[in-house]
Structures are given as structure tokens and as C-alpha cells.
Chain A
Amino acid sequence: MNLLRRFLRTPEAIAGAVILAALFAMALAASLLFPGDPQAIAGTALLLPFQDWSLPLGTDRLGRDVLAELFHGARTSLAVGLAAAAAALAVGAIVGTLAGFAGGLADEVLMRITDAFQTVPSFLLALAFVSIVGPSLGVVVAAIALGAWTGPARVARAEVLSIRERDFVAGARVIGMHPLEIAFREVLPNALPPVLALSSVIVAAAILTEAALSFLGLGDPNRVTWGGMIAEGRAMLRTAPFLSIIPGVALVLTVLGVYLAGEGVVETTAAMRGLS
């Protein structure tokens, strides 16, 4: 409780939490409020927002309900963002721990691989990967994770390097624990907090990358995505700007929300550490 109170002390954190909560609510309520295919043709085409209360945000060029697409798009954005961040953190933490704990040649090899991935712009990497494998939700998640795991790997390694010299690690060695067991049961959990602090940045970047991929037509075409909605609206930017503006605003708010909430968490944990 104390933790939560501390978290809610900063206005940024509150704003972030509220936005995120709304977003999760949207994603969860999507199939309750808008059952069926959100891409189904629901009414007359190019209806402006706030004209017809059964279609409050209007319709696109084929007559699809923009609000329904927005809700279902929140689901895709969050799912991709969270899954890609989870994958990137997991891979990064494991690689970083192995490199830091093993040292020597293994460390060199793993960190040079990390360097190699880091030198290629992560968006280009995702773009190339999706164009080769073909767009689907799983591939998009993998593509984004591919460019995002290097940050966590470096942070994890740095933490592990300092932790592995501590007494409890020496103790674990003395009682004859297997090195892998020490690495993943003793060292990794202690190295995790700073790695997790990266998560908000990674989630935000993953959501943006997913939107950019969909904007370029490399998202999963059978799902609604905000990036795809913006791309479709772009051809009509002068005549029906709301088609691009609405998902664009949703995207900005989401990234902002994730980032603010993440900052709040970091500050709270930092304060906790300071206290303890």
C-alpha cells in the first residue's frame, strides 16, 4: 500500500496510470462492446464524427466503424507492445546474465553479437525481417523484439558483473551449486530491477514500431491496427483528416501513458532503494 501511495505522489505517474488503465479497459472491453469483426461494413461511408450516435467517431471510406476499429486496435497495440517487450527483456536478461557470469570467451562472443545487433537500426531490422518472413502478429512481435533485446542485455551484464563478486555468490559456489543454477537462481533475480526499469521505454518503442510497420503495410492485414488506420486515412488527409487524426492521437496518448507510468515506477523503486 505504501508503495502505491508513493507511486501516486507524482502527477505524471497518476496521468500515466489513468491513461494505461483506460487503454487496458478499451482492450478488454473491445469484444464486449463491439462483438464481431471490427472491419465489417457498419454504415454509410465517410460519416463524420459526432453525427450519428450509433457510430460516434464516424466511418471510414468503406463504411467501417472508426470507434470499433479504435478499440480493437488498442488490443493489437497493447498485445504487440507487451509481448515484444517481454520477449526482448527475457532474451536480453538471459544473454546478459550468461555473458556477465561466464566471462572470458563466452562474454566476448555474446557481447560482440549484441554489438552487431545494436549497430543495425532496430526499425530497419524489423522491416527486413517482416518483409522476408511475411506479416503476421507473431512475426511482428519477433521482429520488434529482435531489435530491442540489446539494451536489456547490456544492462543485465553490467549488473551481473558487480553481483557475481558478492559474498553470497561465493557462498553458493562453496556449497557446490551448479554455475547455471547460481547464474539464474541467485544472480539474475538480483540483477533484474534495473533491467525491468527499461521496460516502459521498450513497450513504448514497440508500440511505435508496430504502428510504423502497419503504416507501411507490413502489419497483420487481418487485424485492425492504429498504424494501418493512419495509413488508410492518409490518402484522404485533406478531405477526411479525422481518419488519420483519431488513431494518431490514440497512439500518442498510449506511448505517453506507458512512458509516464514507467517513469513513476522507476522513481518509486529508486525511492524505495534509497530508503532501504
Chain B
Amino acid sequence: MSDFRISRRTMLAGSALLLASTAMPTIGWAQTPKKGGRLDVAADSEPRNLNPAIVASNGVFFISSKIVETLAEASFDGKDGLDPRLAVNWEGATDGLSVTFKLREGVKWHDGKPFTSADVAFSALQIWKPLQNLGRTVFKDLEAVDTPDELTAVFKFTKPTPFQLIRNALPALSSVVPKHVYETGKIEDNPANNAPVGTGPFKFADYKPGQYYRLEKNADYWGKDQPYLDEIVYQVLPDRTSAASALEAEEIQLAAFSAVPLADLDRISKVPGLKVITKGYEGLTYQLVVEINHRRKELADLKVRQAIAHAIDKDFVVKRVFLGYAATATGPVPKNDPQFYTADVPTYAFDVARANALLDEAGYKKNDDGKRFSLRLLPAPYFNETKQFGDYLRQALAAIGIDAQLVNNDSAAHIKAVYTDHAFDLAVGPPVFRGDPAISTTILMQSGIPDGVPFSNQGGYKNDDLDALIAKASETLDTAARTELYKQFQKKVAEDLPLINIAEWSFISVARDTVRNIADNPRWAVSSWADTWIEG
């Protein structure tokens, strides 16, 4: 017994020492970055196509944004929220028909060839506009890219295109890939899609399926003294519960994109040497929405949609499903957006009695068994939280007499059921807000989108006023007027409820406290990490 006590006391003393030793260096903030070292990171998925110019998604950016750079990156304090990368300056013409980019001098591709405006023109015209999931809408009117000299690229549009939209699209949509690598053969089948060549601070080294991706330092990088790290290794840990143990065992130093489950954060924040970071994802806001199939007669009735909105306790969802790591939503633009958000929209307080009254008014009385009607509810399987919200929503609807039958599908089957076959009544979806409503938000309410386009309005909703508003905003050049139109858009959506916005959330990183310069921009996890360094 006494033996045990002694060992426990020494253990405690030891851990106190450890605490002190890890706490000490944080006092001196203004340290000069140390060069060298390897950063081990948890990766929870293994994208096959690593070309961010084709697949503009966070799973791809997480790895490839270190290799392939964009024209500009999001920034907390830069002008218009941007920081220059491959472009040093950008200017839009007053008629909205052209945008001129001045490019950075002395940038080299990883294979030694110089980076020029021809690469930008090639990427924009051959990849962003025809092939990229997001570029297809934003660059749809891009007609030509003039290259008067090696460091100037002038984008020409057939229709006036708001400069604000192009600016907001730069961080996610403007990955530049080398023309000399992609110009022969079919772009989609190019081997560089699996082993990207870029201008970024790190070069693609190797990939072992099921094990790791390894990136190594680009010694010729244009950033002065950057990058600081020698290597970044992404350890593939598909099991979400294993990232926390890997951090504790010091097998990895960073787990981004909420690889550590929310329920584990409270415990892990108390582990000495690890810190929980909620910053660095401001530009990557996910929205929890209830997608509605307006082809269902009951759901085409505004009163029923209002009743559903009143039946959902958003605070409960934030507190229980997201354990506080989220915010309640009021409309289609998240609260943390600095440019467009307005709070001046109709809101739906949690009020079961009012919801029941609305349903009675709409003419859907309760049957003898207490049910009004039943419908199919398809929660998207991508996140634990969307599935859990599905469970909650079923209960919330039961409280107002709507019998929801859950249908679980895998990702591919869910996308087919909702966006191609329309075999749903309600669905839970996590669309992403990408800094401008025209990039991936208005598509959720606008009518006339062909069947099969994922993450778009496939609920058969059609509102001429809203369509007109979206069309007008897409060709309004004046930033203030355009912003005002999107404020009206938010109001209209909250009034007519083509879908119901519940909450907005982003991701959490957990890192060893020796890893420095993390979360220093609003898209940190998908930025270049050129200035990240490890102490020790």
C-alpha cells in the first residue's frame, strides 16, 4: 500500500514538473522561428485526386494547399480580407468586364521552370472554368485571359462580373497549376493530379495508401527564409477515436478538422502539452440546414415549414449536438461573415405550442394516434453531428405530431437519393459558406438547376422574387449595392423558408503546444503553413 502511495506521489511531482516545463516557453512570445523538424498531422480521409484546381474541397486543400498555391489567401487583417500569394496586386475595371492581376516575381515551379502569367491563363481557362466544382459558376462568363507580359494576367468577362465576388473567390478557387505539366493529354487523367507539382513551400514526396502522405521542404520557395519545417507527414488515421490517443502518445503533433471528437475535447484540453484551438477556421463555415422537398404537398405550405422551424430548439442543438462548439443560425449567411451578414430577418423561436397551432391552421389535424402525417428524413452521413441532429429532429417533429422515418444511406447513396432521385421529404445537409453567397449559397434556393447537381436546390423550390433578387445581385457591380441585395436575400429566405438554417459550425484543432504559428489566418488548416514552426 505504502509503495503505491510513494509511486503515486512521485508521479504527481513528475507531471507537475512536466507542466512547468511546457508552460515556461509560452511566456516568451517574440521568439525567432526555429528551422527544421517534422510535423506529423492526422489525416482522416485519403483523397485520390490531389489537384485543388479541379477539386476545390477542404479534404483536398488540407494536403495540397501546401504544394499548390492560389493567387491570394484569406487574412484576418489584410485589405478586403486577403493576403497576396502568387498575385501581388489585383484590380477590377469599373465596367466589371475585366480584372487585372500583377503576379509575383521570381517564383519557380517545383521542377525548376519559372512561373508566368501563361500558367494563370491556362489554369483559369482550361481548369477553373470548365472542370472545377466551384469555378464553373463563378467563372462561367470568363472569356479570355490576356497575358501582355510574363507577370500580368487580365481576366476578360463577357458579362459584367462583380469584382467583390472574384476577390472573395480567390482563396478557394484560384489554385494555379503548371501549364507545361498539364498541356499534353487529358487534364483529368494527368499523373500530376495524384502527385501535384506547384509553387508552394512544400513539395509532394510520397504517398503510401492507408499509411501516410509525405511532403518535403521546397528550398527554392519565394517566401524569405520560409518554410521553416523540413517535412510534413500526414498520418492516415481514419478512425476518429484514434487521433486523440495518437496526440497523447506524441505520434502526431496536430489533429485539425475536428479529428478529435467534440466529446473528447474537454478531457484532452486538460492533458499537459496539448491545446485545443478553435481559431483558424473562420473562412470555412459549415451550415446545418434542413433541406425541404417542396414537391410534398404538406411541405409546400409555408405554415408547415414555419411550424417545423418553431419546433426545433436551436440552443439545444448547439449545446447537445455540438457541445457548444457552434452558433445558432438566423439565415443563409453565417453570423461570423464580416461582409454580408444581417440580423434583421424574421426569426423562429422554439415554441412547440405555436408550431402545433400553425399545423392546425394549415389543416393538418392530429389523428387519433396523435400523428398528423409522416415523412422521410434523410440525415447526411458525412458528419457525426448531421446524423445526431437527424436523431434529434425526429424527436422534435414527434412533439408536433409529425412522424419522421429516418433513412440512413452512405455518402454516395445519400447524394443520389437527395440530389438526383429527390427521394426525400426532409434532409439534413451541411453546405459550406465560402465567403460570398454567390459561390455556393444562392444555388441552394435558386430554381432551374438541373437534376443531379449536388449541394444545390433539388427540393423543387421556385420563388420568382428570390430568383430575380439572386440574378440582380450576380450582376450588380457596386460593392455596397450588391451587399445590400444579399441582405434582402437573407430576409426573403428567412421569411419563405426554402430551407431552414439551424446552426453554423466550424472545426477545432488540437495541437502540441510546441507547434507555433498555427491558426494565424481564417483558412489556416487549408493554407500553406509556410510560417509554421516547431519549438524544441
Contact = CB atoms under 8 A, between A and B. Distances in A.
B408 A135 contact: yes
Contacts of B406: 221-222
B355 interface: no
A239 interface: yes
Interface residues of A, number: 22
B395 interface: yes
Contact of B320 (A63, A235, A239): A63
Most chain A CB atoms below 10 A, which of B391, B394, B407, B413: B391
A39 B395 contact: yes
Interface string A215-251: 0011001100000000000111111100000000000
B66 to A, nearest CB: 29
Interface stretch (B40-48, B135-143, B144-152, B262-270): B262-270
A237 B398 CA distance: 29
Given A61-B263, A221-B408, A235 B240 contact: yes
Nearest to A217: B408
Nearest to B262: A235
A237 B405 CA distance: 28
A39 B381 CA distance: 19
B384 A235 contact: yes
A131 interface: yes
B368 interface: no
Contacts of A217: 381, 408
B395 A131 contact: no
A237 B241 contact: yes
B450 interface: no
A119 B462 CA distance: 53
Contacts of B320: 45, 61-63
Interface string B390-421: 01101100100000011111100100000000
A40 B263 contact: no
A221 to B, nearest CB: 4
Nearest to A45: B320
B410 A41 contact: no
B245 to A, nearest CB: 8
B388 interface: yes
B398 A40 contact: yes
A240 B392 contact: no
A101 B320 CA distance: 62
A45 B381 CA distance: 23
A239 B408 CA distance: 26
A96 to B, nearest CB: 36
A263 B413 CA distance: 43
A235 B408 CA distance: 18
Given A45-B320, A61-B263, A235-B241, A40 B395 contact: yes
Contacts of A138: none
A103 interface: no
Contacts of B409: 134
A262 B244 CA distance: 43
A135 B381 CA distance: 14
Contacts of B392: 41, 62
A61 B406 CA distance: 19
B191 interface: no
A13 B390 CA distance: 43
Contacts of B413: 131
Interface in B347-373: none
Contacts of B407: 134, 221
A63 B316 CA distance: 11
A240 B321 contact: no
Given A45-B320, A222-B405, A222-B406, A238 B244 contact: yes
B22 to A, nearest CB: 21
B261 interface: yes
A238 B395 contact: no
Contacts of A181: none
Contacts of A131: 410, 413
Contact of B263 (A37, A63, A135, A236): A236
Interface in B310-347: 320-321
Contact of B266 (A135, A222, A239): A239
9 contacts: A45-B320, A61-B320, A62-B392, A131-B413, A218-B408, A222-B394, A234-B241, A238-B244, A239-B266
Query: Across chains A and B, which 6 residue pairs bring their CB atoms closest together, nearest first?
Result: A221-B406, A236-B263, A221-B408, A235-B261, A45-B320, A222-B406
Given A61-B388, A134-B409, A235-B264, 19 more contacts: A40-B395, A40-B398, A41-B392, A45-B320, A61-B320, A62-B320, A62-B391, A134-B407, A135-B408, A217-B408, A218-B408, A222-B405, A234-B241, A235-B240, A236-B263, A237-B241, A239-B263, A239-B264, A239-B266
Interface of A: 37, 39-41, 45, 61-63, 131, 134-135, 217-218, 221-222, 234-240
